[in-house]
Each structure stands twice: as structure tokens, then as C-alpha cells.
Chains A and B, each alone.
Chain A
């Protein structure tokens, strides 16, 4: 048989899907033909490539996602019960911000998209669907970030911080959770990571306010210096007052006092 004829059979031969008589024809050719033989050998050699294992974060993120999915359903159920008990408890603002509402909005968009699409061109339908899909995914990411920030292990909380940065515009709940982490997490690494994540949203006044409020409670010189640097980068003059407190407090690490001094000069 010629190479061209073998070429048609070779892929099936390699996956072991040829009948015996055809397989033996290919085998015979492969033994006598160097290029075809090498190709068949390469297919076998590919088995040498080891199967890699993903890092443990993949599993913990998956678990967090599943938990938030289960919690989401629970929230929906409790939401309807709460509303039966007393609608006043549920302000419109809360309702609009809840993840469940996100899904409802997504559905409304989808339905609207459907009707608009029937009367206009098809492109607008797909744009609406894409928006709804994007919104749903954003909601899920927020749930995962929030869920992971509450985990026991520091590495999982770090992952939670990392997840929060994957959103183009995190909702206020995620920003609150990050600010809370910055103030109260007992791991310096997690606090630094949350500071790094928050630096992306430094243009928001509520974030800058949160950063300044986080300054007095910080014990670690590393976090104190990073906070001073960020607030200087953000040119927030409201930080000066707190910098002065650092500067005058003898209990504060000398490096931090020096940094605060530098920060005051930069912002004055």
C-alpha cells in the first residue's frame, strides 16, 4: 500500500478502531516505511507526556462555588419567607443588590431580548443574551469571592482576594468584604493581598475612606508601609492626619514613622 492510502487509515489505526485485516495492512506498511513508522511511533511516544495535577486551589474554588450555589438556593427560599413575614425588612435597595435579583434581572433581560429580537434584527437579541450571560457569571464570581474570603485557611482567603480582582466592577459587598479583610484578617499575606486588590478601586471615595480607616488598627509595619504608599499614590490629603499620628507615636516602628513623614511631605 502507498503512503497516501495508509494516511486515510492511520488515524483509525492509531485509535485502535480498524478491523483486524485493515490493521495488519497498516502494520505491515508502517514496519517498512520510515516516515509513516515514525509518525505511528510518535503517537505512542505522546503517552510519555505525564499527566499534570492542578494545584489545590482548583478544588477549593470548586467547593466554594458549589457552596455558594447551595447557599444561593437557600437564600432564595429564605427571601420568600422573609417577605411573607414582613416586607419592610427588605428594602428595595437590598433587593436590587442581592445575587438572586441578579438572576431575576438576567431573566428579564433575556425575555426582553427575546421580544425585541422578534421585532428587530437578530443581533440585538444576541447582545442582550450576552449581557445577561455576563451578568450571571459576574454574580457567580462575586459569590465565590465572598464565600472564599470567609474560609478558615489563609490560602483560601488569598484565593478569595484573587477572585475579587477578576471582576470588572465588583459590587459594594465584595469591596466591603475586602476592606474588612484588610482590617481584621490575622494573616499579613492576606491583608497585603487585599490591599493590592483594593488598589485597583482607589478612584472610589468609599475605598479611599476605608483605607484611611484601616490605618490605625494595623499592627504590622509591612501593611502600614504599604497602606501609606498606596494612599500617597492615590493623592488623598485626608490621610495626612493619620500619618501624623504615626509620626508622633513612639510605639510605631521607626521605619513606619519615617515613611509617614515622607507621606506627609508628598501630600502637603
Chain B
């Protein structure tokens, strides 16, 4: 019964205090959200933490959900804010978790085809703003107008950025394929999170 309900209907119920409906939304979105963060950062334990934080905030700030808003766009807005806050407050001396968590690299690297491994590396070498827009449009199934709303910019800007991201990705991929090693971008912290206004 609940499986046939739309995201928006479920979220409205959560908003009205029926917390268990969040369980259905969790089943639908915790894996996509995890992959969103993992592809963006390459950091598995941190991605798991951030997913948890997103569901925290959905529950805590459920009253701010407007029923006429698409749930996914709202959720990814929260997801971006969560990461933004995480970057802002992160201090190196507080990173205690990794010792209790599995390795950072994807577990099945050995089995992955070389091409897919190279692609994964190439993606992590993309500039962060391009990487994000590519991930949102290719993997998270968001339309360009939804992404534009999320980033606070024009639809045309999003499309241009997707195209430029592909151009950059192609060059990086070719360099990696040719055996050239590129310095691995730090998964977090070195890139400043882009200000939506600077995206124009």
C-alpha cells in the first residue's frame, strides 16, 4: 500500500507526524543518496554519515516541507546543505570514525573492469562544480530544471556545465587511459563548495 504512494504523499504524512512513513522514503533513497555522496567525495564512511544526517534533518525540519514542492529536489537541497555544513565545520583532529569503519576504496575495485575504474578516477579529478552537476543529471535522475532550482541558477547554465563537464571528463579519461598519472584530488576540503551565485 505504502509502496504505491508518491514521495510527496509520504512526506506529507511524515510532516503530519507519522514518522514511520520516513522508513519508506529511506528505502527509496538511502542508496541513491549514498551514491551521490560517494561519487562526489570518494569517501565511504563520510558518505554514510552524511546520508544519516540527511534523514535526521528531513525528520527534524519536516514542517518546512511544502506539499507543492517536489520531494526529491527538496531532499537534494538538504543533502547539499548537509555537505556544505560538514565542510565548514570539519576539523582534521575530530576524524575519529575511520578506524571503526571499512576501507575507503570501493570493496569491489579488483573486480571492476579497468574502464570503470578509470572512469571512477576521472570523475574524482573533475572540478567539483562540474562533478556535482554531472552526478545529479546522470545518476540522480534529476531534470535540468530541477538541478537549476537546486543550484539557484538558470537552466542554460546547468546544460552548459554538463557539456563542459563531459569535455573535461573526456580529456581526463584519455590522460588516464594513456597511463598518465594525475595527482588525486583530495576528496574533501581542498575545493571550496561553489557559491550558487558564482555559478552563472
Contact = CB atoms under 8 A, between A and B. Distances in A.
Interface of A: 7-8, 10-12, 14-15, 17, 35, 38-39, 42-43, 45-46, 48-55, 57-59, 61-62, 65-66, 69-70, 73, 136-137, 140, 158, 162, 165, 193
A229 to B, nearest CB: 17
A64 B100 CA distance: 19
Given A43-B166, A49-B120, A162-B97, A54 B48 contact: yes
B192 interface: no
Contacts of A66: 19-20, 22-23, 59
Given A62-B26, A137-B56, A162-B100, A50 B170 contact: no
B164 to A, nearest CB: 9
A48 B115 contact: yes
Interface of B: 17, 19-20, 22-23, 26, 30-31, 34-35, 38-39, 44, 47-48, 51-52, 55-57, 59-60, 96-97, 100-102, 106, 108, 112-113, 115-116, 119-120, 123, 134, 137-139, 143-144, 158-160, 162-163, 166-167, 169-170, 173
A43 B139 CA distance: 10
B52 A61 contact: yes
Secondary structure class of chain B's binding surface, majority of residues: helix
B163 A48 contact: no
Given A11-B159, A53-B31, A69-B19, A43 B48 contact: no
Nearest to A161: B100
Given A43-B138, A45-B119, A65 B31 contact: no
B38 A52 contact: yes
A70 B51 contact: no
Given A50-B108, A66-B19, A140-B60, A58 B52 contact: yes
A69 B29 CA distance: 20
A10 B158 CA distance: 12
Contacts, number: 116
Q: Which 3 A-B pairs have the closest CB atoms?
A: A11-B159, A48-B116, A54-B34
Contacts of B173: 42
A35 B167 CA distance: 8
A35 B170 contact: yes
B22 A51 contact: no
Nearest to A66: B19
Contacts of A15: 137, 143-144
Contact of B162 (A11, A38, A62): A11
B163 A11 contact: yes
A66 B167 CA distance: 44
A49 B116 contact: yes
Contacts of A17: 143
Contacts of B38: 52
Given A7-B160, A48-B119, 6 more contacts: A12-B144, A45-B119, A49-B120, A50-B108, A50-B112, A70-B19
28 contacts: A7-B160, A10-B166, A11-B144, A12-B144, A15-B137, A35-B167, A39-B163, A39-B166, A42-B119, A46-B123, A48-B116, A49-B39, A49-B139, A50-B108, A51-B35, A52-B35, A53-B31, A54-B47, A55-B44, A55-B48, A55-B101, A55-B102, A59-B30, A61-B52, A62-B55, A69-B59, A140-B60, A162-B96
B77 to A, nearest CB: 15
A50 B51 contact: no
Contact of B59 (A45, A51, A52, A65): A65
Nearest to B101: A55
Given A11-B162, A54-B47, A54-B48, A65 B97 contact: no
Contacts of B101: 55
Contacts of B48: 54-55, 57-58
Given A15-B144, A48-B115, A70-B19, A65 B56 contact: yes
Given A48-B113, A66-B19, A140-B56, A10 B34 contact: no
A215 B139 CA distance: 52
